[in-house]
Amino acid sequence: MHIQTLHTERLVLLPPSAACEEMYESFYTDADASGPYGGPLTSAAAWSRLAADLGAWHVQGFGVWAIARRDAGELLGVCGFWQGKGWPRELTWWLLPQARSAGIAQEASRAVIAHAHQVFQWPSLETYMNDDNHAARALVRRLGAVVTGRRSFPDGGERDVFRFPRSQPASEI
């Protein structure tokens, strides 16, 4: 399967690869950084998350991209789509702590949303997060998403579901 590389003004979104192992380990073994994503994890479990993200592209035809700075190639996090068994598909992202509060998640999310509409031809896109994840809730609102309801999820939790409007054409996809 060919996974397209996406480009934005400051970023390159690359297919995940073994080169991401150190980034995944750094993120998932950091309790503060990875708490909303089930962390902290052991190094072996972080590697398993990377392997699952790689496999998602082959099993489901979509997944996350690794985010890198366009000028330096430094890996910053991931952004794309996730769907675990029994879960609805969602836009997701995570960033290393040093990459936060710089608009990177927003820039990457705009690119993957445009890709999903234009290339995957998905008619709608959603995301969800825990109620106390205020930063993620603020980001999806900045991206134009609106709450369309509240759902129960396989982990027993209830979450608001946000839907994104159809995106404008991305000039560099």
Contact 13, 65 (CB under 8 A): yes
Query: Which residue, 127, 135, 122, is CA-closest to 159?
Result: 127
Q: Above 70 in pLDDT, residue 171?
A: no
Q: Above 60 in pLDDT, residue 158?
A: yes
Residues 6+ apart with CB under 8 A from 81: 62, 63, 64, 89, 90, 91, 92, 112, 116
Q: Residue range 13-27: average pLDDT?
A: 98
Locus of tokens 């890996």: 75
60-81: pLDDT as tens digits: 999 999 999 999 999 999 999 9
The pTM assigned to this predicted structure is 0.94
Strands 90-95, 75-82: parallel, antiparallel or unpaired by DSSP? antiparallel
Q: Above 60 in pLDDT, residue 91?
A: yes
What is d(CA 21, CA 23) in angstroms, rounded to the nearest whole number? 5
Gyration radius of the chain over CA positions: 15
Q: Residue range 141-168: average pLDDT?
A: 93
167 band by pLDDT with thresholds 50, 70 and 90: low
Q: Above 50 in pLDDT, residue 173?
A: no
Domains of the chain with bracketed CATH: 6-123 (3.40.630.30)
* Residue 16 CA: distances (Å) to CA of 2, 53, 159: 12, 7, 28
